[in-house]
Structure 1
Amino acid sequence: MNTQKVLQEIRSQKFQPVYLVLGTEDFLQNQVREAFLTSLNVDQDDLNFAQFDLEQDSLDVVLDEAQSTPFFGDYRLIFVEHPFFLTAEKKSNAPEHNLDGLLDYLKNPVDTSILVIFASYEKMDERKKVTKQLKQAATLVEVQPMKEAEVRRYLQQTLDNEGLVMQREAFELFVRLTDVSLSKAMQELDKLRLYAGEEKRISKYAVEELIPKSLEHNVFDLTTYVLQGKTEAALRLYEDLHIQGEETIKINAILISQIRLLLQTAILMKVGYQQGNIVETLKIHPYRVKLAMQQARKFDQKALSLLYDELIENDYLIKSGRMDKEFLFQLFVLKTANQLQAK
């Protein structure tokens, strides 16, 4: 069932006896949790609330709780985490679970108990009987990571609902720095919301100042500067990373992977591959492919190939100790800028 529809029903106190929350999107998972706790007006210490981890707790304890009468209330709420037996995964130190007991309960669940099973997995083992029965008996709530377009819509709707205005360039940067992850974006949005204050306007400057950049983000920018022949900006960013304690070998390795991605993307685009085909072939996030396609269109395939070969050679020279790593990296940036400007 659609997550928003389920949330609306929970908030309207239209409960089902068993829910299966499937997926790895933390933000949506937490929304489901909070909806139950708020709607039933319970907290972690409430006598009508219990939480179990099936990597440590027995399923029999969960079923006993589910079959108990609520204590001065209408419902007993039970959260169940890590139902690993729904997957092909094996847990050596986990308890043996009474799956037959669960199957019997699913046939006739107690209507005063709300059993919410959080399966934080990308997929389950559909061959297992318990998986099939649970999917049939429970209200399935999909909380898988959203696609780029869905994340953008959700963020824009959130901004609109709160009366926040984010500049277009700021929005694009925000999406990139949060890796098109709804959980990351909603977490980081709290800082921007506070910064915007009563003006409710979020600039690109605010995003640059408040949203942290990972090493991968910085090397993406470094790659862009190198390919655009922006020597000063590339060397300044490299020095900043070096001051922050990042090793040249690590920076070079990520730069190699970035150029490799651009080269692979350029080759696949040349033979007619579209974004979806490239994602399937390279097995990487669609947004990374989208950015790579935008960059690859601007550069000659042969030039990318030469850059890649030079970076591989530099990696060998650095690791073998034949040349100073900082000097070699700076030389690479300067040579690349001169080569690109000469074209």
Structure 2
Amino acid sequence: MAVYFFYGDEDYNIELELSKMSSKLNPDFKSMSLQTLDNPDFSTLISALRTTPMMFGDMLIIINAEEYFTSNKNFFDDVELSEIEDALKNNPETLNIVFVLKLPRDENKKPDSRRKLYKILSKYNVKEFPTFKTYKTAEIAGWIKTQARNKDISLNDDAISLLIEQIGNNLREFDTELDKLKLIAYPEKKITRKMVEEICISNEDLFGFADLIMQGERDKALLEFNKLLDKKHPLEILSAIQTMLRKWIILKTKSSLSPGELSKLTGQHEFVVKQTLQKLKNTKTADLVKLKENLYEAEFRIKSAEAIDIISEVECAIIG
């Protein structure tokens, strides 16, 4: 078969590619034909590379190799690297081997090409999976359309634009929302902007909710929270607010940076960055941090089964 080297900071696209490869394996023998190893030592790795597939068909071995490229010195010595190289050259036709290196998001890092292992793997099928830049909306839209086709649905252009405006460049979140939209649209297969509005909590919704809390208008904040419950489960709302607050805190503490740099840090479009900075003008960073702490504690209590009632737990966090 083949040897692959996948690397990049868009881990979700890497996961999708691996999923596509594993879907081609014989489903009756998948437990035996699919193997995943995390930074295996030499003996474990060489044993895997020399695996001879049995009668159940093709095999796929995924090797998460982060430590191979991040350790201070070479993970393998020259003799071991020579054996690895030899094993890859003599790879059986029924065996796919994929080395995976997931890089930190938005840090523009690349594998260290000086490492001997990189030089070995670069002779094979190398593919980079970079994060989409937030300003490259056409590329993000293209990805959404492809995923929609895979789910047997399609989206109007204005629906796609709204998704990008609300989500940014988070592919995993796009995929989750597409699954929800498919259920909402059934038996129809066309997704409209109105459908997106029905399920997506907009930045305006979240900002309005958080702003009411910080202004001390708890009653109104609780009413707003109950409106959000029509669109999302309480934990989803908490997750969305936590994500939003994290981005707001970054914007407040790094406000001296350019909108472009802040866009990279938060995964938001530059327009959204500028708009949010204006709205946060009179908001204290300390208030944002305190709200985030309260909501984090509520989320922890809910997930650890300490909360008697989920909605009441969130409401208590809002009241402070």
Instruction: Tell me the TM-score range normalised by the shorter chain.
Output: 0.5 to 0.7
When residues 221 and 81 of structure 1 are mapped into structure 2, their CA distance, relative to the original with a 3 A threshold, is farther
CA distance in 2 between counterparts of 1:113 and 1:313 reads 55
For residue 260 of structure 2, give the secondary structure of its aligned residue in structure 1.
helix
User: Aligned-pair RMSD on alpha carbons?
Assistant: 4.9
* TM-score between the two structures when normalised by the length of structure 1: 0.58
Partner of 1:194: 183
Partner of 2:305: none
Q: Please, which of 141, 146, 160 is the counterpart of residue 152 of structure 1? A: 141
Q: Please, which of 53, 59, 66 is the counterpart of residue 37 of structure 2? A: 53
Which structure has the larger Rg? 1
1:28 deviates by 2.2
* TM-score between the two structures when normalised by the length of structure 2: 0.61
1:207 deviates by 3.0
- Corresponding position: 1:77 with 2:59: yes
Partner of 1:165: 155
Q: Please, which of 117, 120, 140 is the counterpart of residue 102 of structure 2? A: 120
When residues 103 and 189 of structure 1 are mapped into structure 2, their CA distance, relative to the original with a 3 A threshold, is same
Residue deviations 1:140-199 (CA, integer Å, cap 9, x gap): 12223323322222113444684523472x434433444421122113211211211133
CA distance in 1 between counterparts of 2:283 and 2:38 reads 48
For residue 115 of structure 1, give the secondary structure of its aligned residue in structure 2.
strand
For residue 199 of structure 1, give the secondary structure of its aligned residue in structure 2.
coil
CA distance in 2 between counterparts of 1:23 and 1:140 reads 11
Q: Please, which of 275, 281, 285 is the counterpart of residue 266 of structure 2? A: 285
When residues 138 and 313 of structure 1 are mapped into structure 2, their CA distance, relative to the original with a 3 A threshold, is closer
Task: Report if aligned partners of 2:6, 2:14 keep a CA contact under 8 Å in 1.
Answer: yes
Task: Report if aligned partners of 2:5, 2:126 keep a CA contact under 8 Å in 1.
Answer: yes
Paired residues, what number? 272
When residues 220 and 104 of structure 1 are mapped into structure 2, their CA distance, relative to the original with a 3 A threshold, is farther
- Structure 2 gaps of 5+ residues are 105-109, 229-233, 236-240, 294-314
For residue 287 of structure 1, give the secondary structure of its aligned residue in structure 2.
coil
Partner of 1:102: 84
CA distance in 2 between counterparts of 1:201 and 1:233 reads 36
1:289 deviates by 3.9
For residue 146 of structure 1, give the secondary structure of its aligned residue in structure 2.
coil
When residues 256 and 182 of structure 1 are mapped into structure 2, their CA distance, relative to the original with a 3 A threshold, is closer
Partner of 1:66: 49
Task: Report if aligned partners of 1:22, 1:118 keep a CA contact under 8 Å in 2.
Answer: yes
Letter in 2 for 1:121: L
1:134 deviates by 1.7
For residue 177 of structure 2, give the secondary structure of its aligned residue in structure 1.
helix
Task: Report if aligned partners of 1:86, 1:131 keep a CA contact under 8 Å in 2.
Answer: no
For residue 26 of structure 2, give the secondary structure of its aligned residue in structure 1.
coil
Q: Please, which of 14, 25, 36 is the counterpart of residue 21 of structure 2? A: 36
Letter in 2 for 1:23: G
Letter in 1 for 2:102: S
Letter in 2 for 1:258: W
Task: Report if aligned partners of 1:25, 1:183 keep a CA contact under 8 Å in 2.
Answer: no
- Structure 1 gaps of 5+ residues are 1-14, 246-250, 320-325, 331-343
Q: Please, which of 232, 251, 256 is the counterpart of residue 261 of structure 1? A: 251
Task: Report if aligned partners of 1:66, 1:78 keep a CA contact under 8 Å in 2.
Answer: no
CA distance in 2 between counterparts of 1:231 and 1:171 reads 34
- Corresponding position: 1:138 with 2:128: no
Greater mean alpha carbon deviation, residues 98-107 or residues 177-186: 98-107
Letter in 2 for 1:36: M
Task: Report if aligned partners of 1:47, 1:71 keep a CA contact under 8 Å in 2.
Answer: no
Task: Report if aligned partners of 2:3, 2:125 keep a CA contact under 8 Å in 1.
Answer: yes
